[in-house]
Amino acid sequence: MPRYRLLIEYDGSPFVGWQMQAGGLSVQGVITDAIAAFAEEKVIVHGAGRTDAGVHALGQVAHVDLARDWRPDRVRDALNARLRPHPVAVLAVEKTAESFHARFSAKRRHYLYRIVNRRADLTLARNRAWRVPRPLDAAAMHAAAQRLLGRHDFTTFRAAECQAKSPVKTLDRLDVARDGDEVHVRASARSFLHHQVRSMVGSLVLVGEGKWSEDDLAAALAARSRAACGPVAPPEGLYLVRVDY
Decide: 46 and 100 in contact? Cβ < 8 Å. Answer: no
CA distance 190 to 220: 22
Which of these is catalytic: 52, 172, 175, 179?
A: 52
Decide: 195 and 161 in contact? Cβ < 8 Å. Answer: no
Would strands 130-131 and 108-116 be described as parallel, antiparallel, or unpaired? parallel
Decide: 30 and 86 in contact? Cβ < 8 Å. Answer: yes
Vertex 14 angle, CA 10 and 18, to 5°: 55
CA-CA-CA-CA dihedral for 164, 170, 176, 182, to nearest 10:
-30
Active-site annotation holds for 52 = yes
Q: Compute CA distances 110 → 49, 240, 241, whole Å.
A: 10, 6, 6
- State the catalytic residues: 52
